A and B are shown apart, each in its own frame.
Chain A
């Protein structure tokens, strides 16, 4: 298949995943509202917000790095998605999966945050700096159980290629990593709570104390870009988790159902629990989940 066709298919699948990611955000906002006894915003509210933000007539930029912050962020989101095969065996949704792409994807998950940290830093607002410091600290912490879980997978499947990991899980529900390596899945799912920044680990966004976290100074189409990335990045992370731990997907319906269920895990925890302080969150990730991750590696090494 020529590279041009592959790029075209990739962008088509990126569009589908963006729409799904934003709809997922809308559905989750609705679920949160219903849990709190409210009607909640319509499911398509994220789309209206993005249109409105891009339709703003003025926007303030504080310099070149501030301008590039959201660009890096969305590059991180697209980069994460582009190297994950969204649907196993599909030509359109296979993207640019190559050998060793798990490492590339892990790098891209971090990359957007770092770019955002530089951009938000140039904004000069103290709340941005606080948000960035909290975000990076928490990220470094949840990266530990997540990385240990990935290493456990590499030991288990003898590969770092996501497509091969998915291929190894085909042929029945009991072949999923969830059942063949439950310890790694537990560590990774706890890391996912930190990644999604719902309630026990929501101090980065912290709407009450540090207004809205890192993007405090971002307005108009900058914010639109960040919101679009939120959709892409959420969906990409869920697709990654589905591929690594829940057997991947062979068609789009199964992908949507599985990613929704995985996302719902962090929503379920989010509505039920109060919030950790940053230092407590770091301690939490470095204790039990990290130990579970180590145990998951040890089980396969012994």
Chain B
């Protein structure tokens, strides 16, 4: 018995004091805290911050931008009445597929996020989530007055007024509601921006990430999701 006790004593002298008991030990400046998540869910999600990704060498980037501009895959988020104007775009009359555009049902594969109408706070949560799940470079087109300045929901208690305080927006299409021609004009403008290399919303989001997060958390009270949904 004495011998056994001695052995256990010698083993416990190994120093383990420097390892912190919680998850903090593997955090660095580039990690997010995900404080709003329940403790058991924290390991389910990534904690990496978005990073700025610089454009490639100019001639190559120009070629890539040409491809991006001619293959816009749309994730249409029909938040409000503006969504009704998106349907005609794929019909024979307007036919966006001739411009290389097509609707895409999953954010992973889309490159243009289209917000069609007013943004209620409940919807904003989903918008942020979907936007962050898209792979960059990603572009946002906000359709309808409501997404720009609140529109007729100016006084509403549960509608955000300016969507560009929460995610970066490349092109606004005004109107209540804008006709499909106006939406297509918005896409033409987006193409011009992409071709000129000016549609860098993803890098803007990474750069001003804390500002966007503060704004989002100010209005979304029940924040039960990770800080960044890669």
Contacts and interface: CB of A to CB of B under 8 A. Distances in A.
Interface of A: 29, 33, 36-42, 45, 48-49, 51-52, 55-60, 127, 207, 211-212, 215-220, 223
A60 B108 contact: yes
Contact of A218 (B70, B98, B100, B109): B109
Given A39-B95, A217-B108, A218-B109, A58 B135 contact: yes
Interface in B117-165: 135-137
Contacts of B91: 38
Contact of A60 (B68, B70, B92, B230): B230
A37 B230 contact: no
Contact-residue bracket for chain B: 20 to 34
B105 A40 contact: no
A131 B137 CA distance: 27
Contact of B68 (A37, A55, A127, A212): A55
B53 A211 contact: no
Contact of B105 (A33, A59, A211): A211
Nearest to A218: B108
Contacts of B92: 36-38
A61 to B, nearest CB: 10
A41 B98 contact: yes
B135 A41 contact: no
B46 to A, nearest CB: 9
Contact of A216 (B95, B108, B137): B108
Indicate the member of B70, B136, B230 with the most A CB atoms within 10 Å: B70
Contacts of B136: 56-58
B111 interface: yes
**Which 5 residue pairs across A and B have the least CB separation, nearest first?**
A211-B105, A55-B64, A219-B108, A51-B67, A37-B92
B71 A49 contact: yes
Of A38, A57, A212, most B-chain CB atoms within 10 Å: A57
Contacts of A58: 53, 135-136, 202
Interface string B168-197: 000000000000000000000000000000
Interface of B: 53, 63-64, 67-68, 70-71, 91-92, 95, 97-98, 100, 102, 104-106, 108-109, 111, 135-137, 202, 230
A129 B14 CA distance: 47
Contacts of B98: 33, 38-42
A57 B111 contact: no
A51 B106 CA distance: 19
B106 A216 contact: yes
B75 to A, nearest CB: 10
Contacts of B102: 41
B109 A223 contact: yes
B67 A48 contact: yes
Contacts of A45: 71, 100
B2 to A, nearest CB: 50
Contacts of B135: 56-60, 219-220
Contacts of A41: 97-98, 100, 102
A29 B100 CA distance: 11
A25 to B, nearest CB: 13
Contacts of B100: 41-42, 45, 48-49
B108 A52 contact: no
12 contacts: A38-B91, A38-B97, A42-B98, A51-B67, A52-B64, A55-B64, A56-B135, A57-B137, A57-B202, A58-B136, A60-B230, A219-B108
Contacts of B109: 212, 215, 218-219, 223
A42 B64 CA distance: 18
Given A39-B98, A41-B100, A57-B53, 7 more contacts: A37-B92, A38-B92, A51-B63, A52-B67, A56-B137, A215-B109, A223-B109
Nearest to A125: B106
B147 to A, nearest CB: 24
A42 B102 CA distance: 13
A112 to B, nearest CB: 20
